[in-house]
Homo-oligomer: A and B are copies of this chain.
Amino acid sequence: MSLDKLFNPKSIAIVGASSEEGKIGNVIAKNILELGYEGEVYLVNPKYGEIFGKKCYKNLAEIFEDKPASSAGMIDLAILAIPAKFVNQEILNNSKNIKNYVVISAGFSEIGEEGKKQEEELKKITKENELNILGPNCLGFIIPSLKLNASFAGGMPEAGNIAFVSQSGALAVAIMDAAKKEGTKFSSIVSVGNKMQIAETEMLEFLVQDENTKVIGMYLEGIKEGEKFIEIAGKITKIKPIVILKAGKNEKTQKAISSHTGALAGDDEIVSAVFEKSGIIRANNLEEFFALLNFISFSTAVPNQKVAVITNAGGAGVLVSDAFSGKKIQLADLENETKNKLREFLPAESSVENPIDLLGDARADRYKKALEIISSVPEIGSVICLLTPQEQTPVAEIAKEIIKFKDKTDKNIVTVFLGGEKVEKAIAKLKQNEVCNFSFPDLAVTAIDSYSQWNEFRVSKTKTPSQLINEKRRTKVLEIIAKAKSENRQALYFGESAEVMAMYGINTVESFEIENYHGRNLGYPVVLKVDSDKVLHKTDKNGVMLNIENEMKLSRAISEMKTNFPESHFIIQPMAKKGAELIIGIKKDEIFGPVIVYGLGGIYAEFLKTVDYLVPPLSLGQVEKSLLSGKIKFLFQGVRGQKKYNAEEMTKILIGISSFSLEIPEIREFDINPLIVYNNSQEAVAVDVKIII
């Protein structure tokens, strides 16, 4: 249901309003009554007849008593700040007349079993009566443009274009306080509390349509309904930038895992992969989060990724250059023409290489002229103006020139004014005029880089395909799985896995059963392997015998193996030709569903973690981009003195795995280890395939 009336109510009832200082119901009532909200307000509390000179109702129902005709729609929003035990009943009683609620009250799922039960019940009420409920256990929300502070945090932030959604009320309070000092302006601040019904995805859907919101910032500790979140977020980031500070990097303890993929894939890396796929900007820490929101709030995403830096201090310039390492945006190489123009007015000792050093005695005119020249270069998208407050530096004047210039250009102009008292006022002036100042050079570079990557995502044509299920294929695979299950196996035999892989276009190494190898052309040397769900780490347990040279030795090897692994299933495979060993697996993430993990294989794979992540469903373009910019890109670009590996072939394999992961959600774990790929015409081949069912 639309959240419009919840966040833009014409009338509000405050249940639990109080005249007692320090009570939450007191703070909320004052915030709503005294900070400029212009809608109708009803106070509710059985303890009082009147608060703040206003009538106080016993309960919500009493408000409607004398106005039965117009009851429905009379109150757009009810805010509940009463003990948890009364919440469900009060909402249920009024569910016909009031559709939107904010439940401030704590004492729900966050306190354990008892609370969880009550929250489940509330959720049911919500659904059955088509209600919107923010919370429970939340701080409330604030819409500065409406002068509506429907929370128990004090004050009224300035109205602006940043929507901030927080899973932590306390952090929201701290950020609001910091924002006041920094001049950060908000379209809305929403505390989502326990996220019973309205969670990140619902907020995104609302905020994308909110005209006042330019950028959406979220502090999240967890993500609900991951697959839906990916889908919705991916669409919204094509319209508005989303910046998320995701806490809890080490939250979950790894469960016992039997596949290599499990050991390779970190939960936090998966979050990053999901964000990347969805075009979400991930803030690495609170400071970056702040910086990104402030920057985007004031700036346009420019298509040009080159950056120019002008500075009045060489040293500070070097620090900015350093900050570019590992970033996608780059310092622009200036053309001779530009350099000559700069040389014309700069002293001989200046540097006209980017960072452009205007020297310590630079006054406003040098900044102005340099800005004009730089901004006439089409490739340059952003300019970082660095300043240190030296004796001869007219800080305020320089700020003024930068502000004037910003209005005339379509480049991103940001500043890094280093210092304390000497730059304080100028920084305030810059911010008032929507020039973003960063306290430190690194933050400026990071922010421009992230915004620029978002813009690339936004304009890219690559579309995530919809999830097509090949029902016929699915049925066949399920039959194979059913047979294995009927034999009480937890894993498919290699032969079965090979059959499944073939359906997804993946080639496996030839294999023979030990019962019928006699007289067949095995292609010595061969490998003998135990093929059992009870021996998953074969190599560790001597379940693999390599390089068996002839039939006699094979026969001996089989006897030995049978003794070591009685009642097991065995297979014989020819030794695969040498190539690059890769690993591909599917990690079933609890939140986001299947995630493909792929990278370098070999015995050190687990330690080197040279892996990348892909979140299905996938387009060819998405896979190719990952291959060519990821951790094993060197294989597809050609190792020194070696031919390139075939990125197209690898793309098809990964698309096959993607279809497999979506089509057969029944599988519990999966990996191919190794997949051997070749840089000649030879086809890639899966040597071992583990499908745990």
Least CB distance from A314 to B in Å reads 6
Residues of B within 8 A of A247 (CB): 315, 318-319, 322
In chain A between 308 and 345, which residues have their CB closer than 8 angstroms to a CB of chain B?
312-316, 318-319, 321-325
Contacts of A179 in B (CB 8 A): 420
Interface positions of A (Cβ within 8 A of B) = 22, 27, 106, 110-111, 152-154, 166-171, 173-175, 177-182, 219, 221, 245, 247-251, 285-287, 312-316, 318-319, 321-325, 349, 360, 388-392, 418-424, 439-442, 537, 539-541, 600, 603-604, 606-608, 610, 634, 639-642
| Distance between A202 CB and nearest chain B CB, rounded to angstroms | 20
20 contacts between A and B (CB under 8 A): A110-B349, A153-B391, A154-B391, A167-B315, A168-B313, A168-B316, A169-B360, A169-B390, A171-B388, A173-B389, A177-B421, A219-B315, A248-B321, A248-B322, A250-B324, A537-B641, A600-B604, A600-B608, A604-B634, A607-B639
Q: Is the CB of A170 within 8 A of B314?
A: yes
Q: 7 tightest A-B contacts by CB? A: A168-B315, A540-B641, A170-B313, A181-B420, A177-B419, A174-B418, A174-B388
CB distance A182 to B285 under 8 Å? no
| Inter-chain contact B315/A422, CB cutoff 8 Å | no
Q: Tell me if B316 and A391 are in contact (CB < 8 A).
A: no
Contacts of A110 in B (CB 8 A): 349
Residues in B neighbouring A27, C-beta threshold 8 A = 391
**How many copies make up the complex?**
2
Q: Residue A607 contacts which of B168, B324, B634 (CB distance < 8 angstroms)?
A: B634
**Residues of chain B within 8 A of A640, CB atoms compared:** 537, 540, 606
Given contacts A318-B248, A323-B285, A641-B541, contact A178 B418 (CB under 8 A): yes
Q: Contacts of A319 on B, CB cut-off 8 Å? A: 245, 247, 285-286
- Using CB atoms, name the residue of chain B closest to A331: B250
Once the chains are docked, how many angstroms separate the CA of A419 from the CA of B171?
9
Q: Choose among B221, B250, B316, B392 the residue that contacts A174 (Cβ–Cβ < 8 A).
A: B316
| Distance in Å: Cβ of A583 to nearest Cβ of chain B | 14
Q: Across the interface, do B418 and A285 meet the contact criterion of CB distance under 8 Å?
A: no
For the complex, give the distance between the alpha carbons of A610 and B605 in Å: 12
CA distance A662 to B319 in the complex (A): 34
Residues of B with C-beta under 8 A to A219: 315
- In angstroms, Cα B286 to Cα A154, docked, is 34
Task: Return the contact of A249 from the options B287, B325, B391 (Cβ within 8 A).
Answer: B325
**Complex: chain B residue closest to A285, CB-CB:** B442
Chain B residue nearest to A423 (CB atoms) is B177
Inter-subunit contact A420/B316 (CB<8 Å): no
Residues of B contacting A391 with CB < 8 Å? Answer: 27, 152-154, 173
Q: A481 to chain B: closest CB distance in Å? A: 28
Write the nearest CB–CB distance from A53 to chain B, whole angstroms. 23
**A177→B419 CA distance, assembly (Å):** 5
**In the complex, which of the residues B167, B321, B540 contacts A250, with contact meaning CB atoms closer than 8 Å?**
B321
Residues of B within 8 A of A422 (CB): 177
Knowing that A154-B391, A174-B313, A250-B321 are A-B contacts, what are 12 other residue pairs whose CB atoms are under 8 Å apart, sorted by A's residue number? A169-B390, A170-B313, A174-B388, A174-B418, A177-B420, A178-B418, A180-B421, A181-B424, A286-B441, A287-B442, A603-B639, A607-B634
Query: Which residues of chain B come closer than 8 Å to A389, judged between CB atoms?
Result: 173-174, 177
The residue that A22 contacts in the complex, of B313, B392, B420, B603, with Cβ under 8 A, is: B392
A173 with B390, Cβ < 8 A, contacts A247-B319, A604-B639, A639-B607 known: yes
- Cα-based distance from A537 to B640 in the complex (angstroms): 10
**In the bound complex, CA of A250 to CA of B325 (Å):** 8
Chain B residues whose CB sits within 8 angstroms of the CB of A603 once the complex forms: 639, 642
